[in-house]
Amino acid sequence: MNAPEQTPAAKAAYDARWQRIMDCVALKQADRMPVIMYATYWLAKYGGVSYKELMYDYEKTKEIAERAVLEFEPDACISLPGAIALGNVFEATGYKQLQWPGHGVGDNQPYQYLDREYMKAEEYPELLADPTGFYLNKYLPRIFSAFEGFENFPVFPGTFYFRAITGLRPLANKDFRKALQKVLDAADEVDRYMTHAGQWNKRINALGFPLINGSASGAPYDVLADYFRGATGMMKDLYRHKEQLLEVIDMMRRNLVKMTIANARGSGNPIVFIPIHWAPDAFMSPKQFETFWWPSFRQMMLDLIDADLIPMPLWESDCTKRLDIIKDVPKGKCIYWFERTDIVKAYEVLGDTVALRGNLSPSMMTTGTPAEVDAAVKRLVDEVWNKGGSLLLDTAFGIPDETPIENVRAMFDSARKYAG
């Protein structure tokens, strides 16, 4: 499945699709409303395979994903195999933060994150003083079993002269050597996975379809809350470790920006997908939001914009009460994807500032009829697109796994019917 030579017609189609997305970002009305395809386990329903097969069988997943793109002809899609064919890398790394089909959940259940305290609040000073050392000695062994054995990986700062020599001794440890071999094997699997995903991406591009984003990232507060402290740990830190928390969040931001710029540039696609978890109205007070959450994320977006990238946060759940605050970004530089916030309301507040993406509801997509999908698309076209809005039509957070295929057809067909 190598990338075919791009025909002139495919190149023209690719350029037109990409231009549509860029017009939306620049807040210019495109020639038609772009429709985006984001799917994970829905491909199992579409391709008639199990969730587990999608996760482990690179070739089959690539084939099904390509078939879906060619059938629905989205204006852009995600790297579909990249988002789902992760079983082998999870196995190879011994990834502990998820349970996935065949590994903790059934063969036809989606992977699920295990919300735990992966770092204690007492460890903030250690993380701040030496993030690299903290990752090597503590964090990586906690989240990957392959790294168990790295707990005594030498800490080099402070060593010098003969101490720099004797400091190497932990590397002779048998347990460390075993762990190192597992990590090297895992890296080989990661290389295979990324090669498969990369080949698919190139092939899809050659066939005329851009990827909506080339990289992904997280908001500083969210990364710390979800992947380090755990939900309840982080909420308590808002009271118990206020000052330190701001310092750690700022450090997170600097490292996230560095990582994100490198990955985005490597991908050759300027759009950065950033799922947002802790911004919803119900999760913290406006004051907490404006103190702990928003400043670091706003700065992160500005840093990415300065690097000629296009932040595309997905504001999960309902963020209606945050709209006035998150409007404070340069005009025409971002795509805001909303999950449960009413896009029509979002358009009223943010329409002159950012492009919008979304947001056919999961309950309608899974339990509704094609006629209901058609009516929902029409509403967004009437209330946003036809009023000059820059809207990328999509579901609320990807096509829900259980969505009947005819409802997905209705989403694409209705978009073409009402908005070009």
Q: Is 244 in the site for another protein (CB under 8 A)?
A: no
**Which of 63, 73, 91, 115 touches another protein (CB under 8 A)?**
115
Stretch that binds another protein, among 10-18, 133-141, 233-241, 378-386 (CB under 8 A): 233-241
Q: Is 109 in the site for another protein (CB under 8 A)?
A: yes
CB 204 within 8 A of CB 69: yes
Angle at the Cα of 301 (from 224 to 355), degrees rounded to 5? 120
Q: Is 407 in the site for another protein (CB under 8 A)?
A: no
Q: Is 317 in the site for another protein (CB under 8 A)?
A: yes
CA distance 100 to 36: 26
Residue-by-residue DSSP string for 356-415: EEEEE-HHHHHHS-HHHHHHHHHHHHHHTGGGT--EEEEESSSB-TT--HHHHHHHHHHH
**Collapsing DSSP states into helix, strand and coil, what is residue 312?**
strand
Q: Is 402 in the site for another protein (CB under 8 A)?
A: yes
Residues 6+ apart with CB under 8 A from 3: 199, 202, 203, 205, 206
Taking the least distance from each CB to another protein, the nearer of 213 and 317 is: 317
Q: Distance of CA 177 to CAs 111, 165, 174, 181, 307, Å?
A: 31, 18, 5, 6, 40
**Which of 4, 11, 70, 112 touches another protein (CB under 8 A)?**
112
- To another protein, the closest distance from the beta carbon of 105 in angstroms equals 7
Tokens of 14: 């690719």
Q: Is 235 in the site for another protein (CB under 8 A)?
A: yes
Residue reference for tokens 């799922």? 275
Stretch that binds another protein, among 14-22, 168-176, 227-235, 323-331 (CB under 8 A): 227-235
**Which of 212, 219, 249, 364 touches another protein (CB under 8 A)?**
364
Stretch that binds another protein, among 11-19, 56-64, 232-240, 382-390 (CB under 8 A): 232-240
Taking the least distance from each CB to another protein, the nearer of 66 and 316 is: 316
Residues 6+ apart with CB under 8 A from 228: 118, 119, 139
CB 91 within 8 A of CB 103: yes
- To another protein, the closest distance from the beta carbon of 109 in angstroms equals 5
**Which of 4, 70, 106, 169 touches another protein (CB under 8 A)?**
106
Q: Is 408 in the site for another protein (CB under 8 A)?
A: no
**Which of 7, 166, 181, 363 touches another protein (CB under 8 A)?**
363
**Collapsing DSSP states into helix, strand and coil, what is residue 37?**
strand
Q: Is 394 in the site for another protein (CB under 8 A)?
A: no
Q: Is 210 in the site for another protein (CB under 8 A)?
A: no
State the pairing for strand pair 335-338/271-276. unpaired
Contact set with another protein (CB under 8 A): 99, 105-106, 109-110, 112, 114-115, 231-232, 235-236, 238-240, 282-285, 288, 317-318, 361-364, 366-368, 400-402
